[in-house]
Amino acid sequence: MSRLVVVSNRIADPRKPAAGGLAVALGETLKKTGGLWFGWSGKTVPDGMPGEGKLNVHTAGTVTLAELDLAEEDVDAYYRGYSNGVLWPVFHYRLDLAHLESGYLSGYRRVNRLFARKLAPLLREDDLIWIHDYHLIPLAAELRAMGCANRIGFFLHIPLPPQQILAAIPSHEWLMRALFAYDLVGFQSEADLLNFSHYVQAEATAEPVGVSQFRAFNSTVQAGTFPIGIDVDEFRRLGQAREARDTYDTTCKEYSRRRLLIGVDRLDYSKGLPQRIRAFGELLREYPENRHSATLLQVASPSREDVDAYVDIQHELESLCGAINGNYGDLDWMPVRYIHRIIARRRLPGLYRACDVALVTPLRDGMNLVAKEFVVAQDESDPGVLVLSRFAGAAEQLKDALLVNPYDIPGTAQAIQRALQMPLEERRARHAALLENICRYDVHWWCRQFLETLAEIR
């Protein structure tokens, strides 16, 4: 078995309890193969020169973590600027929020080159390299330019938009050409793969060679879908631990005789939070039996607060929640409980379990793991209902959820009402079907599937 090298923007230490399923799954695989995880440390070098970085390598058992400190100017251009100010909005179909005219591209290229320069000396000949996400699209091309002949795979955690949207990025051709330096490119959903295929056909005057092999820019690449899952066993264990049980008990007690709806998201404009709050308001307006009862618990954890668009959405949300609470709230009932803070991961399963309905209604999402976590946390004999956006990658797998169009506010309100009124038998049947899918395609399946495919490519 080759050694695995994982590269991602940030490293999540797989030994820390806060690590999510992805970090745990990758950590386990790294442990097995004796691996290396390389990424930005999240720190900056005081007075660091652009394009230069300080590498810290520490080994724990069979796993080596290599963390790179970056110059402030590089973080600005590569991370805040190009990755989160251009690629994130465009890949989530939001041209209106993209800073396309900016000069961030050179910083993005500079940091990818720096990653390659620092990583290359750590590589061994038969290492299998797995690069993650939109921050590092050109990394394989940079490594190839330095003579790296290893097998390299790439996984995009966020959606790939249609060609007409991608083409708004001035350097889209360069970006897409960079994908052809990989041996395998993985997407979350069939919709993303289809967009890739259309792009290749439309822009690169190229012919798909086989079912999943694409030829363009004088090279070929294999591409496929590898929907990411959660670590079901780990999340179940978390659900049985004391903190989750306590959270469940106190939440149930506090909201007894009330119907509880939950949303858990990073505060990001892709998650459809304003539309969700409006749909909840519409529910109270259209179906008055929910007044004094239905309560929406919205956890919106702080995210990228140094990017303008994130400050704007925060203000919009505060005002929307305030308006609903002002219009409908009463001395003994507050319709929306909006929490702009990170809730400890250990409490999440208890919180999910105490809720009747989950609202997972992103305008666009690569996958969405909250949908899967909610289902796994439910009591099988009396499960809650998942209301899921058709625009989340997860909707391709979780067809037994109540699928909604989050832009359609009355339609979403209607689906929420249906969820609140769903008979036990239907809830159980839907939950069982969802759970089966989530267990079968868990994060370990995802990891294995991607790496086996990558290893088998000739």
H helices, E strands: number in the chain = 17, 15
Nearest of 357, 362, 370, 368 to residue 407 by alpha carbon: 362
**Amino acid code (one letter) for 267:** L
Contact pick of 117, 198, 266, 418 for ligand GDG (by CB under 6 A): 266
Nearer to ligand GDG, 370 or 413 (CB): 370
Is residue 412 close enough to count as binding ligand GDG by CB under 6 A? no
Given the residues 76, 127, 365, 442, the one annotated as active site: 365
Q: In 3-state terms, what secondary structure has residue 75?
A: helix
161 token code pair: 């938009």
- Alpha carbons 200 and 198: distance in angstroms, whole number: 5
Nearer to ligand GDG, 221 or 228 (CB): 228
- Alpha carbons 271 and 258: distance in angstroms, whole number: 26
Contact pick of 144, 258, 304, 345 for ligand GDG (by CB under 6 A): 345
Active site residue 312: no
Strands 219-225 and 184-187: parallel
Q: Are 335 and 375 in contact (CB under 8 A)?
A: no
Nearer to ligand GDG, 271 or 427 (CB): 271
CB of 312 to ligand GDG, least distance (A): 18
Region from 35-43, 208-216, 323-331, 366-374 binding ligand GDG, contact rule CB under 6 A: 366-374
- Alpha carbons 90 and 130: distance in angstroms, whole number: 24
**Amino acid code (one letter) for 451:** L
Cα torsion 446, 180, 182, 94: sign? negative
253 token code pair: 């007690």
Is residue 343 close enough to count as binding ligand GDG by CB under 6 A? yes
CB of 367 to ligand GDG, least distance (A): 3
Active site residue 365: yes
Is residue 366 close enough to count as binding ligand GDG by CB under 6 A? yes
Within residues 290-329, the interface with ligand GDG by CB under 6 A covers 299, 301
Is residue 9 close enough to count as binding ligand GDG by CB under 6 A? no
Is residue 373 close enough to count as binding ligand GDG by CB under 6 A? yes
Count the residues of the shown chain that bind ligand GDG, applying the rule CB under 6 A. 20
For residue 312, count other CB atoms closer than 10 A to its CB.
Answer: 12
Contact pick of 110, 113, 157, 427 for ligand GDG (by CB under 6 A): 157
Catalytic residues: 157, 365
Which residues make up the interface to ligand GDG (CB under 6 A)? Answer: 20, 157-158, 228, 264, 266, 299, 301, 342-345, 348, 365-370, 373
